[in-house]
Structure 1
Amino acid sequence: MRMFRWAGLALALLCGIARASMGLSELPATAEDGPVTVYYPSSDTSQPVRRGRFLLDVAAEGRAVPGNGRLVVISHGSGGSPWVHADLARDLVEAGFIVAMPQHRADNYVDGSDPGPDSWTIRPAEVSRAIDAMGRDPRFAPMLRLDKVGVFGMSAGGHTALSLAGGRWSPARFMRHCDEHIAEDFQSCVGLITRLTGGPLDGLKKWVALRVIHHRFDDDTPRIAADPRIAAAVAGVPAAADFDMNSLARPAVPLGLVTAEQDRWLIPRFHADRVLAVCQTCEHIADLPAGGHGALLSPHPPGLDGLVGDLLNDPPVFDRADVTVVNRKIAAFFERHLLP
């Protein structure tokens, strides 16, 4: 009879997860960190909620219900918001995970003043402090076991995921990459400041960019991040040219990658493809042959134009239905490596 009672409880729990809507809440900012957005299974009814340019179907501040007991932290890309991975969060929540998204300092949608290596240096610690914050929160802490946590990141967030998987990098490696490949990987080196047009000013743009990079990023001290609670990581279209690839040959934790062959911000042959070429244990979760750098943004930000639109809007032949499949594969990766 005891076996049947446990089976009944397990079935009730699984049914509860399947019926749960996605709750949305926020842990407040501290003196050191920005707010942490939290998506979670909720027993309350979801409703359309406006967040910035996005209309999300969520139970805002809804009552949290137990899921599978595991946390996944999402590290957003440069200038990113908590809303551009809401569809991935939904798949994770439907699988029973609670999802936390820290706002990375000086590299987010309200403050983009310091992207690049300065942000990459502090992001892993911000992820760790977000885990700490979830462990202190009276709503979520009782529902979580934080000995095995997942991390997903896209773009600069992918760099965070690679770091927390055991990758070593340095600002000087970034500098040397730009020295060698400033023309071919220009946007990786300068971000959204300007672009090469094929015109007479291109030479000056490259010269100025390299002068600034050499002034700011000549430190060859390896950046090494470690958090023993991180048990699995997924890097989507990651910034990776500045990593010591030997450190990613056999990552410290299971590492999955998602690639997009039409990425013009982080040219794959300098970034994700290099990781795939050297990594002996990585899982290539998905490749999007027609996807650009913004393929994993879901919902996709509307109304992007100019350089940011050129880099993040979908190529004409890309099918957004593919992102739904990828999100489910990412959730399945974390289920395999974080459960039971």
Structure 2
Amino acid sequence: MFPVLILVLFLWANRAQAGVGLEEIPATATDGIVTLFYPTQAEDQPLRRGRFVLNLAERAGPIRGNGRLIVISHGSGGGPWVHVNLARALVEAGFVVAMPQHHADNFMDESNPGPDSWTLRPAEVSRAIDAVGRDTRFASLLMLDKVGIYGMSAGGHTALSMAGGRWSPAGFKQHCEASLEEDFQSCVGLITRLTGSMFDGIKKWAAMLVIRHRFSDATPREHHDPRVAAVVAGVPTAADFDMTSLAHPAMPVALITAGQDHWLIPRFHSDLVMQACKSCVLLAHLPAAGHGALLSPLPPGLTGLVGDMLNDPPGFDRSQMAEVDQKIARFFEQHLLQK
């Protein structure tokens, strides 16, 4: 009798969180879709999204997890599917995960990345929290007084902004004026690259012409949301921050860095944050990783400049990213679930 009862309880406990649910909050006049991942009793099923085949329980009924929300801010041109493995680790720890689609800087619309997007993103994160709180499917399952923020690349910039970081478009311009050649992809994105040819001078001249025209505004950008209680920034864009604003963040902040990041050279970005921040935790340093290490799953078939920037460098062991995801989940558990 007792062995049978134990088996039944074991099977029930495992069924209590059988899969990772997938839902959406529709776009509004001001904001894009918010994609939600959450604990559910439903079983995962193969699901195709673009180039990805994912195992998720689409439109399944949510169940209560640990009562806390994590918002993920994607990188430039990004979206929810490149963060599904992290979302799964967070959901398995009991979190609900929300991913807002950032305006004009996502996989469906890449028309306006950079400082214009960085200005909008923090408020988009706050409105995504509001939207989840209004959604009758999730409102009763969550307490939104302590929310975690994770961001990667441009999303890391968003995360640092949510942690109290202060920056300006002019700060971006000043960085590029001082370090354009050394940090070229940070300043121009994936439009072009330096090749050592006679055309490099023209590329640098044209890049600075555009940057100086568009990004001269020195007005500080700040955003404060009292609900944000813990932040993780992965390979963040950070050269434009006033580093004094990140010296003593009002909440726990952790960073993930990649030693072979050729898009956001660490010494201009994540290294500066770690040097300035007195309380930040280096959650993981990946010496052999490139910029795309935190995209998990990594989009297949990337070629050209985007492939060079995002594909894994030779010798990088991608299997270690599962442990990085677990470290992120444990960081949020430590700081959001404590009494």
> The residue matched to 2:292 in structure 1 has which SS?
coil
Counterpart-to-counterpart distance in 2, 1:18 and 1:253: 32
Give yes or no for the alignment of 1:168 onto 2:189. Answer: no
In the alignment, structure 2 segments of 5+ residues that lack a partner are 1-8
1:222 — aligned with what?
Answer: 220
1:282 — aligned with what?
Answer: 280
Match of 1:184 among 182, 185, 188: 182
RMSD: 1.3
| 1:18 Cα deviation after fit | 6.7
1:104–1:123 Cα contact (<8 Å) kept? yes
Counterpart-to-counterpart distance in 2, 1:34 and 1:144: 22
> The residue matched to 1:123 in structure 2 has which SS?
helix
> The residue matched to 1:85 in structure 2 has which SS?
helix
Match of 2:333 among 322, 332, 335: 335
1:105 — aligned with what?
Answer: 103
1:20–1:94 Cα contact (<8 Å) kept? no
Give yes or no for the alignment of 1:206 onto 2:228. Answer: no
> The residue matched to 1:128 in structure 2 has which SS?
helix
1:17–1:96 Cα contact (<8 Å) kept? no
Give yes or no for the alignment of 1:61 onto 2:59. Answer: yes
Counterpart-to-counterpart distance in 2, 1:241 and 1:20: 42
| 1:17 Cα deviation after fit | 8.5
Give yes or no for the alignment of 1:23 onto 2:21. Answer: yes
> The residue matched to 1:212 in structure 2 has which SS?
helix
| 1:20 Cα deviation after fit | 3.1
> The residue matched to 2:54 in structure 1 has which SS?
strand
1:17–1:67 Cα contact (<8 Å) kept? no
Q: Percent identity?
A: 67
More deviation, 102-111/247-256 = 247-256
How many pairs are equivalent? 329
Counterpart-to-counterpart distance in 1, 2:26 and 2:16: 29
TM-score (norm 2): 0.95
2:16–2:41 Cα contact (<8 Å) kept? no
Can you list the C-alpha shifts for 1:131-186, whole angstroms capped at 9, x where unaligned? Answer: 00000001011100000000000000000000000000000000000000000000
2:5 — aligned with what?
Answer: none
Tell me: CA distance 1:184–1:166, structure 2 relative to 1, closer, same or farther (3 Å): same
Q: Which amino acid aligns with 1:70?
A: R
Q: Which amino acid aligns with 2:157?
A: H
1:17–1:94 Cα contact (<8 Å) kept? no
> The residue matched to 1:22 in structure 2 has which SS?
strand
1:18–1:94 Cα contact (<8 Å) kept? no
2:125 — aligned with what?
Answer: 127
Equivalent positions of 1:47-58 (< 5 A) are 47-58=45-56
> The residue matched to 2:98 in structure 1 has which SS?
strand
Counterpart-to-counterpart distance in 2, 1:175 and 1:252: 28
Equivalent positions of 1:169-318 (< 5 A) are 169-318=167-316
Match of 1:144 among 142, 145, 158: 142
Can you list the C-alpha shifts for 1:248-267, whole angstroms capped at 9, x where unaligned? Answer: 11112110000000000000
1:77 — aligned with what?
Answer: 75
Can you list the C-alpha shifts for 1:301-327, whole angstroms capped at 9, x where unaligned? Answer: 001001000000000100111111100
2:144–2:227 Cα contact (<8 Å) kept? yes
Tell me: CA distance 1:209–1:221, structure 2 relative to 1, closer, same or farther (3 Å): same
2:167–2:220 Cα contact (<8 Å) kept? yes
Match of 2:93 among 77, 92, 95: 95
TM-score (norm 1): 0.95
Q: Which amino acid aligns with 2:62?
A: A
Can you list the C-alpha shifts for 1:46-103, whole angstroms capped at 9, x where unaligned? Answer: 1000011111111000111100000000000000011000000000000000000000
Q: Which amino acid aligns with 1:141?
A: A
In the alignment, structure 1 segments of 5+ residues that lack a partner are 1-10
